Structure 1
Amino acid sequence: MDLHYKVTFDECKKHTPIPLYIHNKRRRIGRRNGEVISCSPKEREALLAFKRGLTDDNGDLSSWRGDDCCNWDGVGCRKTTGHVISLYIYGGNRGLRGQISVALLQLRHLRYLTLSGCGLFGRISQNLSNLTNLVYLDLSFNSLLLDDLNWLSNLSSLSHLDLSDNNITDANWPQRILKVSSLKELLLAYCHLSDGTYSEEYLFVNSSSSSASLSSANLGGNDLTLRTLGWLSNIRSLVYLKLSANQLDGVVPHSIRNLTFLEHLDLSHNKLKRVAPGSLENLSNLTLLDLSYNELGQPLMELTGNLSCKALEELDLRFNKLSGLPPDFVQHRQLVELHISYNSLDGILSKTTFTKLDNLKWLDLSSNDALSISPFWNPPLNLNNLYLSSVNVGPKFPPWIQVLEDLWRLGLSSCGISDQVPNWFWNFSTALTDLTIPDNQISGTIPDLFSGQLRSIDLRWNRFYGPLPEFLNHTRSLKLSHNEFSGSISSICKLSSLVTVDLSDNLFVGMAPNCWENMTNNIQSLNLGNNSFSGEIPESLGLLEIVSKLYLNDNDFSGKLPSSLKHCNNLELLDVAGNNLTGTISEWLDGANYTYLKYLKFRQNKFYSDIPQEICNLTQIQVLDLSKNNLSGKVPKCLNNFVSLLHTNSVYGPSPIYTSFMYLDSPHMLVQWKRKESLYEGILWLLKLIDFSDNKLTGSIPRELFQLKGLVSLNLSRNALEGNIATDIGDMEMLESLDLSRNHLSGAIPTSLAQLSFLQILNLSNNNLSGRIPTSTQLQSFNESSYAENAQLCGSPLPLCPGDAVSPPASNPGESDEERRNGFMSFSVMQDLFISMALGFVFGFWGLMVSLMMKRSWRISYFMFFDRIGDWAYVKTAIFLASFRRN
């Protein structure tokens, strides 16, 4: 699996800390002989010229005023002279942009220069080599062009260089880097680097001499191959080497064993097939080895047999194709973290596997479907994190868990457990913070949990039953869906720290508690769907001001939507489908400001009146389902306000809120799609759908609706819509499903409908459409039911239109006499040709036969000729088959 990712600022700086004095925003000015020392006017003007070359939207450089630049944020001066020696600007909020002014060259005493994430662009000047005192240079996370790195050779004191996330096009970059003999830390991640055009002999000689001090190199996220790994292996001073997300393809070479001082080696996210025997045997100082996200296909025992790294603490082999059983790792007793998930391991883990790894804190064997764990397994006693999802652990609840008294996180999803939870389980470890055991057949009740550290509980898709227990107040995530819990849910009213609550698909009945004011500051996702809650929706739900996802679907809620929901300005998803709610949509929208709402489902309720114009204020909407209600009036013309549906290539990906917090799930929703209800989870943001079906809408379909080029599914069926289908419908180029059936639409089917190349579902039946179905590969691929019950509609796949019956060529009404004569002449010529061919065959064939019958010598010669051809073919075939069998 290839997984390309961007390194974060913090990750790129790992093992290369910025000197502490650069972080000082304000520095004390120095004194000399009792006098205050301030920065020189020349250097002050240089800094102001640099500032003028930048656009500063957020005022990051607002402190740069006054006479003494030594008091400006990010500027550091030498105490004795007042010269500027450090400049630190990190524009992580992207409020800065512009070019690097040559005025910076006036700062001749500059030793530490950091301009990271400042939106800088343009070509780097060779004059940067004039800053000969630079020790630390960081221009990372910009859009700079570096087509010639020759200026680096003048920076004889440079020890730290970070040009990550820029565009380096200098084909000789390896030589340029190696010339900087003082360099200790090199970061060139995501710089579009290729191997370059360099001399192998030059690099072999110079990599061990010129860069003898280089200890850390981050070259991740480029287009480098194993050729680069070859010359890097000659830099024996390397301690940290990161080559993740490159084009390393094939076998990890023997040359890497030259890096005997290496402690951290990251070759993840490449296409490596195998680790060569002995290639890692000399890396006795290695503490971290990351080979995850490759294509390693050898037995795991063979790979680990090459590891003689007795200092190894972290081994990451996730997402490969490794087979066999995990070994005991006896020679790696210092292991702290071991990740072997998503491989092809098989067999049964023995009783003693991993037992001697006394330091092991993290073990992940998840998603090795053919791997089983014995109920008599002795796990490492000091484990803090254990993940065995999709590993065969059942059918009994594993008894060995109770010895793990220091366990923090336990993941046993989809492990084939079909047993009751033993009583000891809920109290076996007071240290347990995260419990994840969904997708099993585990049964039993849950006692009240008044002690312990549990913060995250995931018991979904099991057979737990009984009342909802009392949970700890610091619980953050509670996922109990698809079980058989019953009774009241009022016990969760005390959990003020909850962020995610999923109680859907259980047997809860009665009124939903009106106590949500206790959770106003934390809860962001609440799912009460598919239960039997009744009565009105609690008014206090509107106090959840930061809630982003609210599921109340498939219950027996009645009455109107509470007006307090208008305060939930952060809503991105609201699902109240399948209830008995009434009222108008206008009441719900009145005064509300749903700026972020993307997914709205009111399906199958009793909402009435028209669809208000205010609904077009939901500009970010992607799924709008108002089907199966009592809505009337016309389809609003302003639906082209839905910005996210206007474009074919949407830039509206998942909101950061779904990925930035560990307790939040991605949005999911049951959607009527391609004639059946389907669950969209994780990829819901890709779906763009409007469904107004099963209402009482009248009038024509507004042409503005057809401007939604990004719409994937449109359903307006079972209404009373009339008029023609506008030709603009052909502009909806992403449309995959279109249902306009059971209306009063009339006129012809637009020929532009044939342009919709992605169309998979089409239903125009039960209307008053007329004329010929446009001819195209697309429209004729649908069966008759797509066009049925349109009395005046004809053409394939329906019966042919009048005049389409198969018959001898007939003259067209507008055809001239000359055209008819030419047509007749063409037919006559073809007729004569066929007659001539038939006569030629008859006379030629029988002429040969008669000659053979009358002349005996000819007959003998003729058949002997065919005998020789048959013998030749037989011999050749026999020789070929014999040769084939030998091969």
Structure 2
Amino acid sequence: MESLRYLNLSHAGFGGLIPPQLGNLSNLHYLNLGGPIPVHLQNLTSLRHLDLTGNTLNSSIPDWLYTFSHLEFLNLGNNNLQGTISSSIRNLTSAICIDLSYNELEGEVPRSLGNLCNLREIRLAGNKWSQEISEIFQSLSGYVSNGLEILELFSAQLSRQLTDELGQFKNLAVLCLGFNSISGPIPWSIGNLSSLRSLNLMNNQINGTLPQSFGQLSKLDNLNIKSNVLEGVVFEVHFCQFNEIDKTFCISKPTDFRSKKQLDPSFSTQLFTFEIMEFRAKISLWLLSQKHLKYLDISNTRVSDVVPPLFWNLSSQFVYLNLYHNQIYGEIPNIPMILSTSSMFDMSSNHFNGLLPYISSNVSFLDLSDNLLSGSISHFLCYKMNESKQMSYLNLGKNFLSGEIIGCWMKWQNLFALNLGSNNLLGSIPTSVGSLIYLQSLNLYNNKFFGTLPSSLKNCKNLVTLDIGKNQFVRSIPSWIGLRFSSLVILSLHSNNFYGYIPENLCSLTSLQILDLSNNKLFGSIPRCVNNFIAMATNNNSNGPLFLFEQPIGYALSMLLDSALLVVKGKVLEYSTTLLLVKILKSMSSLTFLSHLNLSNNNLSGKIPLSTQLQSLSASCFIGNKLCGAPLIGNCPTSDVKPNVEIQRSKDFGGPEVDWIYVSVAVGFVVGFWVVLGPLLLNKQWRIVYFEFLDYLGYKLWGVVAQIW
């Protein structure tokens, strides 16, 4: 055993009882250990690779660990380690990779770390350094700066400005500084990082413009600068002068955004009185020179520009493109057919206009919602019908799309989520929608669809959310909704023309959390079985989404239960981040966690059941019906109280409750039994006549059957 070189005990389940004989393995080079660090581990001075990740050690880094001069790979991530990093870390002279990420370490990154000339990877994310970023760069300005390839300081409580010392890491391939408080502009020296492939500066306070030196980052394939205050590259500011003839005369000159002065000294401002009308941050031209860019996230960066045509030529190399929440405008050209498998495009919440583009069959995620897109959807759906689509998420909601949805859904069978809400689409739902057998979310809210729901929709039995509110659907609510969609969490049918009774089969939806049937033409009573909606009577303390799609850059987006428009207290409200916590029913009194009830504008009748919940709600939740009782003004007349709404009971002299329906049934059975069978049992002559009559009927019946045969 002493000659053992490789040992993996990460899943051995010792429960902290690691045998002391482990310290006798003097020739051990690789150790992956689960559980607390045993003291006798200090004897393994020949270790080259030590992995103690994810053990929740709740201690400081032991001093003897710094004596492992042969150690090349040290991984202590995710351990709740506390305290500081000792300057003795300089003794790890063979170290190639040091991973201390996601602990509770604090203080300062020791300058002695910069003396480790073999170090290639430093991962210190998720700690409490509370340092200026320039101090980190100074600490690593020694020998390590020449060979460092990966520097991860994600969510490390760093502050102040990036400095030109960033340019010293010429071999740096991955730089991750996201989720800090770094401010100021990006230094010009970033262009010196000629080996940089991945740059993450998201969620900081970086401002100013993107330096033109970005164009020198020829190997960059992953860029994330979202949620900063970058202005981009400002190419022009529009100036206008009032003119008596043509009212306005506008010219454009190159401008420095910060000073709002022209950069061209030959342009005289004394000739005219100028007024700044608007300025627009532009998409940097250096992007057009990037030949290896695969992951680009410039969401929420206040870009206001038309996308240059040359930029769309780069889309064939994108695996992930996120332009979300900017002010980008213009038309989207057809996305090339030559794309990487499972490409993802998020261009939502911008000002894109024109028609929907033709989309490559390799796109798996497409979000074009909240734009100004118009025209038909047919060419988009039916393009390349000989190819199966890989699309799993499609969001075209909040646009100006029009026309009918024709039956080209057979090749879209991989869809998990489909959102066409808030457009001008019309017509009936084609039966081919039933081909979407994996569909979990269907949103057709606020369109002009009419007719009935196709029975083929039964095939979509995995639905979790179904929102067809604010359309013109007619007839009764299909009873098969309650039988086929057992996983349904959200069902919104409000503001349609559904009429008739509420089907009792809806009570089978035990996972239902939101049910909205308001503003229809329903009548009759509320089914008594609605107390089967147990999900509405259960506290849910979860803050996370129900369903997640992993993106290749490593973070998750909730897709299915992203938002819903619900009628609450007579108002249409949109829930997004808190949607998972919402519980709404057209309900009854037995649900003790009921937060809101809306039965308005139907044709329901009878008395509102008595409970502390229902009587505390607003009367507006019950208007437009034939209901009576609190919280409505006035009492119910006796003639208006219907037995199918609430079973009438009485009390007999303060004793237990008596249900007279069951008493009546019992009395009726006894009376009927003795009236019919009593005389036959007591009178022999009547019995003889009765059985002779039965024999005669049997004989006649046999004769009729014989003639037929």
Which TM-score applies when normalising by structure 2? 0.72
CA deviations on 1:837-876 (whole Å, 9 max, x unpaired) are xxxxxxxxxxxxxxxxxxxxxxxxxxxxxxxxxxxxxxxx
- SS of equivalent to 2:159: coil
**Alpha-carbon distance between aligned partners in 1 of 2:204 and 2:314, rounded to the nearest angstrom:** 31
Distance 1:309 1:682, change over 3 A: same
Deviation of 1:229 after TM superposition, in Å, equals 5.0
**Alpha-carbon distance between aligned partners in 2 of 1:474 and 1:664, rounded to the nearest angstrom:** 21
- SS of equivalent to 1:585: coil
Alignment of 1:473-492 (within 5 A): 473-491=361-379, 492=381
1:500 aligns with 2:364: no
Distance 1:197 1:251, change over 3 A: closer
2:585 corresponds to: 690
1:163 aligns with 2:16: no
**Alpha-carbon distance between aligned partners in 1 of 2:178 and 2:551, rounded to the nearest angstrom:** 22
**Alpha-carbon distance between aligned partners in 2 of 1:500 and 1:193, rounded to the nearest angstrom:** 41
Question: Retained in 2: the 8 A contact 1:234–1:258?
Answer: no
Question: Retained in 2: the 8 A contact 1:447–1:469?
Answer: yes
**Alpha-carbon distance between aligned partners in 2 of 1:652 and 1:543, rounded to the nearest angstrom:** 33
1:615 corresponds to: 506
**Of 291, 309, 316, which aligns to 2:176?**
316
Letter in 1 for 2:458: K
Question: Retained in 1: the 8 A contact 2:465–2:491?
Answer: yes
CA deviations on 1:507-549 (whole Å, 9 max, x unpaired) are 33332111111222x1222122122222211111011001111
Question: Retained in 1: the 8 A contact 2:87–2:111?
Answer: no
1:552 corresponds to: 444
1:439 corresponds to: 325
**Alpha-carbon distance between aligned partners in 2 of 1:261 and 1:373, rounded to the nearest angstrom:** 39
Question: Retained in 2: the 8 A contact 1:598–1:622?
Answer: yes
Letter in 1 for 2:95: L
CA deviations on 1:642-695 (whole Å, 9 max, x unpaired) are 343343245695344544788983432122346643333344223222246xxx
**Of 163, 166, 177, which aligns to 2:41?**
177
Deviation of 1:335 after TM superposition, in Å, equals 2.6
**Alpha-carbon distance between aligned partners in 1 of 2:428 and 2:445, rounded to the nearest angstrom:** 13
1:461 aligns with 2:349: yes
- SS of equivalent to 2:107: strand
**Alpha-carbon distance between aligned partners in 1 of 2:448 and 2:115, rounded to the nearest angstrom:** 70
Question: Retained in 1: the 8 A contact 2:224–2:296?
Answer: no
Distance 1:481 1:349, change over 3 A: closer
Question: Retained in 2: the 8 A contact 1:318–1:342?
Answer: yes
Distance 1:136 1:582, change over 3 A: farther
Distance 1:418 1:296, change over 3 A: closer
1:366 aligns with 2:226: yes
Deviation of 1:554 after TM superposition, in Å, equals 1.0
**Alpha-carbon distance between aligned partners in 2 of 1:399 and 1:310, rounded to the nearest angstrom:** 23
Deviation of 1:195 after TM superposition, in Å, equals 2.4
Task: Name which structure has the greater RCO, CA cutoff 8 Å, separation 6+.
Answer: 2
Distance 1:597 1:577, change over 3 A: same
Letter in 1 for 2:374: S
Alignment of 1:122-141 (within 5 A): 135-140=5-10
CA deviations on 1:749-808 (whole Å, 9 max, x unpaired) are xxxxxxxxxxxxxxx464659xxxxxxxxxxxxxxxxxxxxxxxxxxxxxxxxxxxxxxx
Deviation of 1:589 after TM superposition, in Å, equals 2.4
- SS of equivalent to 1:558: strand
**Alpha-carbon distance between aligned partners in 2 of 1:312 and 1:404, rounded to the nearest angstrom:** 18
Deviation of 1:357 after TM superposition, in Å, equals 3.9
2:565 corresponds to: 670
**Of 161, 181, 197, which aligns to 1:299?**
161
Unaligned runs of 5+ in 1: 1-130, 378-391, 693-700, 748-763, 770-887
**Alpha-carbon distance between aligned partners in 1 of 2:470 and 2:12, rounded to the nearest angstrom:** 50
Question: Retained in 2: the 8 A contact 1:460–1:481?
Answer: yes
Distance 1:310 1:489, change over 3 A: closer
Deviation of 1:432 after TM superposition, in Å, equals 4.3
**Of 588, 593, 598, which aligns to 2:480?**
588
**Alpha-carbon distance between aligned partners in 2 of 1:681 and 1:723, rounded to the nearest angstrom:** 32
**Alpha-carbon distance between aligned partners in 2 of 1:184 and 1:268, rounded to the nearest angstrom:** 23
Question: Retained in 1: the 8 A contact 2:489–2:512?
Answer: yes
The aligned length equals 575
Question: Retained in 1: the 8 A contact 2:210–2:230?
Answer: no
Letter in 2 for 1:191: N
Alignment of 1:218-367 (within 5 A): 218-230=75-87, 232-274=89-131, 276=135, 278-282=138-142, 283=144, 284-301=146-163, 305=165, 308-327=168-187, 328-329=189-190, 332-351=193-212, 353-367=213-227
Question: Retained in 2: the 8 A contact 1:545–1:568?
Answer: yes
Q: Return 677-686 or 423-432, whichever deviates more.
A: 423-432
1:532 corresponds to: 424
**Alpha-carbon distance between aligned partners in 2 of 1:286 and 1:365, rounded to the nearest angstrom:** 22
Distance 1:717 1:180, change over 3 A: farther
Distance 1:767 1:221, change over 3 A: farther
Question: Retained in 1: the 8 A contact 2:222–2:293?
Answer: no
Distance 1:433 1:212, change over 3 A: closer
Q: Return 495-504 or 143-152, whichever deviates more.
A: 143-152
1:403 aligns with 2:298: no
Distance 1:426 1:312, change over 3 A: closer
**Alpha-carbon distance between aligned partners in 2 of 1:296 and 1:534, rounded to the nearest angstrom:** 53
Question: Retained in 2: the 8 A contact 1:586–1:614?
Answer: no
1:563 corresponds to: 455
CA deviations on 1:78-112 (whole Å, 9 max, x unpaired) are xxxxxxxxxxxxxxxxxxxxxxxxxxxxxxxxxxx
- SS of equivalent to 1:517: coil
1:681 aligns with 2:576: yes
Question: Retained in 1: the 8 A contact 2:482–2:508?
Answer: no
CA deviations on 1:621-646 (whole Å, 9 max, x unpaired) are 22222222222333334444334334
**Alpha-carbon distance between aligned partners in 2 of 1:738 and 1:190, rounded to the nearest angstrom:** 55
2:545 corresponds to: 654
**Alpha-carbon distance between aligned partners in 2 of 1:229 and 1:254, rounded to the nearest angstrom:** 10
**Alpha-carbon distance between aligned partners in 1 of 2:400 and 2:190, rounded to the nearest angstrom:** 48
Deviation of 1:220 after TM superposition, in Å, equals 1.4
1:794 corresponds to: none
- SS of equivalent to 2:40: helix
Q: Return 275-284 or 650-659, whichever deviates more.
A: 650-659
**Alpha-carbon distance between aligned partners in 2 of 1:393 and 1:178, rounded to the nearest angstrom:** 63
1:603 aligns with 2:494: yes
**Alpha-carbon distance between aligned partners in 1 of 2:617 and 2:30, rounded to the nearest angstrom:** 54
Letter in 1 for 2:559: D
**Alpha-carbon distance between aligned partners in 2 of 1:213 and 1:264, rounded to the nearest angstrom:** 16
Question: Retained in 2: the 8 A contact 1:286–1:309?
Answer: yes
Deviation of 1:578 after TM superposition, in Å, equals 0.5
Deviation of 1:601 after TM superposition, in Å, equals 1.0
Letter in 1 for 2:479: E
Deviation of 1:300 after TM superposition, in Å, equals 1.2
Question: Retained in 1: the 8 A contact 2:230–2:302?
Answer: no
**Alpha-carbon distance between aligned partners in 1 of 2:119 and 2:452, rounded to the nearest angstrom:** 67
Deviation of 1:575 after TM superposition, in Å, equals 0.8
Q: Return 310-319 or 233-242, whichever deviates more.
A: 233-242
Unaligned runs of 5+ in 2: 237-253, 255-277, 637-709
**Of 550, 560, 577, which aligns to 2:469?**
577
Identity among equivalent positions (%) equals: 32
2:678 corresponds to: none
Question: Retained in 2: the 8 A contact 1:494–1:518?
Answer: no
